[in-house]
Structure 1
Amino acid sequence: MRTFLNWPKGFLARAALVLLLLTLMGGQISSVAAAPKPRNFTGSAQLMGSHFTITAVSADDSLAWRAIRAGLQEIRRIDRLCSYWDSTSQITQVNRAAGLHPVVVDQEVFDLIQRTLKLSTLSGGAFDITFAGGEKIYKFDRQEHALPAPEVVKASVARIDYRKVLLDPAKHSVMLQDKGMRMNLAGILQGYGVRRAQALLKQLGIAGGLINGSGDVSCWGRQADGSLWRIAIGDPAHPQSVSSWLTVSDVAVVTAGNYEQYFTVQGQQYGHIINPHTGYPATGLRSVTIICPDVELADGLDEVVFVKGPEEGLAFINRLKGVDCTLITNDGRTLTSRGMQVNYYKDAGQPASAATSSPKP
């Protein structure tokens, strides 16, 4: 019988090392098996006068909540920087100096304004951030009214003209050429806030998530169970319900509606989106949903389509690469762009069971 004293030299040391390695590996295997599974974490806040919801997918509770708080804080920062209503915002400073002198703004604000002007040029002025200079001649209270006189309507848009926004790239300054002009980024600011919050969450390590800024929805990655994101589109004929849905990832879905803020004239509804060329409310559409990779761009494009109307708006989207849309007309027809794929509910008025891209205020 062989005793320990007769084992080859160094055998016991090697055996002890092997035993130690097996023990360590066993601990690693146990730790991997016990690793927490990813979950969907959701936080929300009232920002920019709207309801924002951020969903982050993570196996780390602390990381998820830290990222959600950071995303909401980023949207809050952008609102303070660019709000039309905040007396200290840089947009308010530009408006106060209209017709007087340029105002130096942060590079971020300058770049955002510059992008909006490119969209104005692309759309032939259907999108115009100087719309705030227009006179408020309508009450969107869902009541019966008479249309204002033609001369009143024409005068109401006399100070609207994006071509009179003067930019100096060297000084990153902005000036409104005429006194009385006003700039308001509301038509694109929610989308920009969502885009910046999403970039921040990704930077912090959130590989999947969804941000909904009151109808401006952007998602990336997958849900905690591995499935794609399901986004519902509101039904104008049945408020608080949906007519169709998409299963998507790494895309933005933005919906604008013209059926919650309106007035009527002899039974015809006129919604709150104004054509900056004519001064009259845009007609022909009740709902516009834009699908494209950039939520900021989608936020501006829905207004462009509303102003252009069903046929011209659809043709405009069909000329853009990587952009699709679905439109619901005043008479209940659904129109889609060439590449649009959407799932329709068989019965109207289905309750929303997914992230809903409902009409923006």
Structure 2
Amino acid sequence: MGRANKVVLAYSGGVDTSVCIPYLKQEWGIQEVITLAADLGQGDELEPIRQKAIQSGASQSLVVDAKDSFVKDYAFPALQANTLYENRYPLSTALARPLIAKLLVEAAEQYGADAVAHGCTGKGNDQVRFDVSIAALNPNLKVLAPAREWGMSREETIAYGERFGIPAPVKKKSPYSIDRNLLGRSIEAGPLEDPWTEPLEEIYVMTKAIADTPDEPEYVEIGFEKGIPTSLKGEAIAPVQLLQQLNQLAGNHGVGRIDMLENRLVGIKSREIYEVPALWVLIQAHRDLESLTLTADVTHYKRGIEETFSQLIYNGLWYSPLKAALDAFIQQTQERVTGTVRVKLFKGNAAIVGRRSDKSLYTPDLATYGADDKFDHQAAEGFIYVWGLPTRIWSQQGRG
């Protein structure tokens, strides 16, 4: 099936993406497969992955360190929008997909490929995120998805790979499907497919069980500038290091576990477990700082924008006109979101216990009930009369 001559394949080093290499060449007649592995802070040793791609038949094996861009260009804009899909999932895995798609398109253009490929199946969200993002960035590129079409079971996939020199996984395969990057881990499948089954402690890596967490709370001060976290415990820190340190700090106190039934874009409900210690804390802290620095109408209106923004990311529309338009709104709201938030980490909780800002709209002499109160209480009566007038007229009319 000659669909293209040269293909850039998103590559993780796992069974499916490794088998994609000989499959594309043998079954679809692709002459050259170039693999691209993105380092997004998943902690894998990428040199063995690079070598495995060559051994599996790739003509070139690219490894791109994209951690800095991942945080600054994707995670932080999402943080400014307080993105929580279905009010719970902070999109740690979804945010990686538009970046990987961008890297694929750039590599295809650099190496003269006429197609890109990925190893997504037909049941998940990632296929949509890749396909739509690639179409937005370069609509002339073909997108190939062998695993969506080959119809092989996992055992058949492994056997197919062995025919072309790809070794089967040596260790006993975990029943779980796991994706990890700097922002967190997603865990699904295996025993978790029963929504009644409590997750075993063995699935968690970034967060401690409550029983194992310290018996004393830990306080963390997070500094923000225009909605972007720039300091931790009073020290300026680079974006990637901030995420790494806060993951460790919050995870040590058991913060950032999510267990939810999630509505996938393709219409399937999926039971998902997430570990997102740093991202969870940052969203709570950022939202709290906004409550100090944004006016009420902006805060309330932004909540609806945030929900739409979250859905756009989840549904693969990062590079869409609506997303670009909402970006402009969100960036405008962040001009005054500068200050420091104090977070108390203890026994699985991240409680906001303090906030301060030079841009604060909180006015102590208006808010106080003490002797320093400057609020004109007499003004309230006339305000209430005007405010309640429509309700009063409605009630009188109803009584005849």
Q: Tell me the TM-score range normalised by the shorter chain.
A: under 0.3
| Greater strand proportion | 1
Q: Which has the larger radius of gyration?
A: 1
- TM-score w.r.t. structure 1 length? 0.27
